[in-house]
Homo-oligomer: A and B are copies of this chain.
Amino acid sequence: MRLRNWLFHNFREVSRLFAFEEIDFPVLESEALFVRKAGEEITQQLYNFEDKGGRRVALRPELTPSLARLVLQKGKALSFPLKWFTIGQCWRYERMTRGRRREHYQWNMDIIGVPGIEAEAELLSALVTFFKNMGITSNDVGIKISNRKVLQAVLSRHNVPDDSFAAVCVIVDKIEKLPQDEIKKELSMLGVTIEAVNGILDALSIRSLDELEDLIGPESGAVADLKQLLNLANAYGYDDWVHFDASIVRGLAYYTGTVFEGFDKEGRLRAICGGGRYDRLLATFGGPETPACGFGFGDAVILELLKEKGIIPSLRLEADYIVIALEDHLRQPASTIAARLRSTGHVVDLVLENKRLKWAFRQAERLNAKRMILVGSSEWEKGTVRVKDLSSGDECDVTLDDLVTQQNYKVS
């Protein structure tokens, strides 16, 4: 929990710096919100079931559809653009592997209502800020960016119908995970010709914007968008983190424009985070066409990476005092002391049972307590307790009032 809280605190701090507002959605949603026809892994691995009232429901596999629903629900009560973030638990029904659990958390940041590439640039800046805050450099992590319009231009050149687009993207996204023959087979099952498949594979191997421009020309706007995004990256100061890579498609059906993916440069882990523009998602739920983009950032892969790099802080327990009554009849004064120290903001572990002093010292060590308060008969008869500084071993007898006000005594 200390590790998770630390990670989430860092997610929140970055979101706050960018003036994003925190939102939350239900964990259990209507299944229909997540079911799409494009053959996405996320839909295939849905943790869905029928509830006692006969409703088809699902433990959410991702957060974006709930966000879209909320935006539609709130409608005109919202003031656009929205800059929202959320940290939420998501589920998949699947066997567990490294960095991929049945239950995980995702940090999402989304900008709703901004059509320009400035939105993507802002989101990428948030990602880079987070990585930097973690102590990660651009030697460790990069962000590959591309645009789905690239693939769209290639498909349209090969006369692949528009309504296959999402399904093609989902297949193409698996290009590094599946053998090329398998990719070709799946694409041809969608009616994509061998010639088109080869055209797609050629396009995906492109890593330079000039080469891309030669291939698809300026009509789609993809090249212009990517150039502008790289210029903004330069203005923000994170150009060393991002580069164009046409092989990035992302596996979610609803992306329409820019797509991006954070990866470890050693290439040993799954994608750290991913996102893109999804200008038509709200329309698919019956709302108006609404420009939108965002990213999802899981808690699993980043923790793997941070552990490998050895850059997780110690996150140890902390306590100011441990208070122990040396005899049973001194439990009441010990309670009084604990209560008074806590009332002035001190973290106090009160020993609630008969424990030996040796145990109390071990407990103090476990909690990294700074001081021990020993409530003994002979001191208490004089109205004092013994205060022991646990790093120096110094000790002295102090009245309760002096203890609480931290006056008239000194141990160090």
Contact = CB atoms under 8 A, between A and B. Distances in A.
Interface residues of A, number: 70
A352 to B, nearest CB: 4
A7 to B, nearest CB: 13
Nearest to A91: B28
Contacts of A175: none
A49 interface: yes
Given A26-B103, A232-B332, A49 B47 contact: no
Residue among A16, A17, A121 with the most chain B CB within 10 A? Answer: A17
B17 A335 contact: no
Nearest to A24: B1
A125 B19 contact: no
A320 B250 CA distance: 35
A59 B116 contact: no
Given A129-B342, A335-B235, A51 B52 contact: no
A348 B23 contact: no
A336 interface: yes
Interface in A78-137: 79, 81, 83, 89, 91, 93, 103, 111, 114-116, 118-119, 121-122, 125, 129
Contacts of A234: 332
Contacts of A5: 22
A43 to B, nearest CB: 13
A24 B238 CA distance: 36
A348 B353 CA distance: 51
A411 to B, nearest CB: 20
A333 interface: yes
A350 interface: yes
Given A27-B27, A339-B237, A331 B118 contact: yes
Q: Main SS of the interface on chain A?
A: mixed
Given A59-B28, A348-B18, A352-B111, A236 B116 contact: no
Contacts of A185: none
* Chain copies in complex: 2
B47 A114 contact: no
Given A18-B342, A103-B26, A122 B49 contact: no
A232 B335 contact: yes
Interface in A312-348: 317, 319, 322, 331-333, 335-336, 338-340, 342-343, 345-348
A83 B350 CA distance: 10
Nearest to A352: B118
A231 interface: yes
Contacts of A59: 27-28
A303 interface: no
A202 interface: no
A336 to B, nearest CB: 5
A28 B90 CA distance: 12
A79 B362 CA distance: 10
A317 B343 CA distance: 29
5 contacts: A4-B24, A17-B342, A18-B350, A83-B349, A115-B353
